[in-house]
Amino acid sequence: MNDKSVRASVRYVAPTADKPVYYASEGGSEAELRIEHAEFSDREVSILDARVQLEGAHLGQQGFTLVSHASEIQDFHELNGQLHTYQEEISELVLAATSARSVHIFDHTRRSDSAEVRGQHQIRETASIIHNDYTDFSAAKRLRDLLPDEAESRLQNRFAIVNVWRTIAGPVFRNPLACCDASTLEAEDLIASERRAKDRIGELELVRYSSRHRWFYYPEMQADEALLIKTFDSLLEGVARRSVHTAFENPLAPRDAPPRESMESRMLVFY
């Protein structure tokens, strides 16, 4: 197999006196990344071809894994009428990958690196800053917000949050997703940051640079593949608790490569 490992720039945060504030866009052609009270450092790193260099990546060890998944959905921009079908598909997918007892799906976010596509479908920009979706605090808060009647009993047992990330418009050449091997991440690398959206305030994690970090991506992801990314695990020892991730400009992308269009679906996973 042809090794498509690359050297590419990724964006780390530089520690500052103030807590960073991330503003979630509402989508559309003008959607763009906005973070205040933060300074950033672009670093060129090796991003290894996980198909060649990391055979058998596992959610419990690296915090991410690629799985085969041929969905019945034909048009992810017209998902409403088939939402139940897709949620059944990815529930089965994640339950099999995690050996969990149940899941609760709560979000589907579509993104594109094309302003034209974003405007056409009112979707969001690619996430081009190294981040993780939840802190320990905001993961528990999300559970309480979503399942208020069950939350306190659920919090007594292990739970996780997993993203199912996929292309929704052909192979991904431009701005693929890179994931950091969770075994190379330390707690001091993470900076809790406020996340403000239209309807709620939470937290996410930005990441400061470390030479320990090992980055991987799956070149040219196809429609019959899905990338599972663990963004939180309440288990404190023995497993990957999170895999930080980012979009990056792929130097191997052909000049005429089509825009990247992707969708990530988030779910609570209960053990």
The rounded percent of the chain whose pLDDT value lies above 90 is 96
How many structural domains does the chain have? 1
Q: What is the CATH number of the domain that holds 211?
A: 2.60.120
pLDDT digits (tens, 9 = 90+) for 99-139: 999 999 999 999 999 999 999 999 999 999 999 999 999 99
Q: Which position has the token pair 């895999």? A: 243
pLDDT for res 15: 83
**What is the predicted pLDDT for the residue at 16?**
85
Residue 106 within a domain: yes
User: According to the model, what pLDDT value does residue 198 have?
Assistant: 86
The mean per-residue pLDDT over the stretch 152-167 comes to: 98
Per the domain annotation, does 257 fall within a domain?
yes
- Domain assignment of residue 247, yes or no: yes
The answer to whether position 1 is within a domain reads no
Whether residue 251 is predicted with pLDDT greater than 90 in this model: the reply is: yes
Q: Is residue 117 part of a domain?
A: yes
> pLDDT above 70 covers what percent of the chain?
100
Q: Which long-range contacts link 65-68 to residues 24+ away (Cβ below 8 Å)?
A: 65/97, 65/227, 65/228, 66/218, 66/221, 66/225, 66/226, 66/227, 66/228, 67/93, 67/97, 67/225, 67/226, 67/227, 67/228, 68/224, 68/225, 68/226
pLDDT in tens, 177-224: 999 999 999 999 999 999 999 889 999 999 999 999 999 999 999 999
Query: In terms of DSSP bridges, do strands 261-270 and 201-207 run parallel, antiparallel, or are they unpaired?
Result: unpaired
Q: How confident is the model at residue 148 (pLDDT cuts 50, 70, 90)?
A: very high
pTM of the model: 0.96
Containing domain of residue 17, as a range?
Answer: 6-270
Mean pLDDT, residues 237-247 taken together:
97
114 lies in some domain: yes
Confidence check: pLDDT of 147 > 80:
yes
Residue 62 lies in a domain: yes
Tens of pLDDT, residues 55-78: 889 999 999 999 999 999 999 999
Q: In this structure, is residue 37 part of a structural domain?
A: yes
* 243-265 average pLDDT score: 97
Whole-number pLDDT of residue 199? 86
Q: Nearest 5°: phi and psi at 188? A: -70, -10
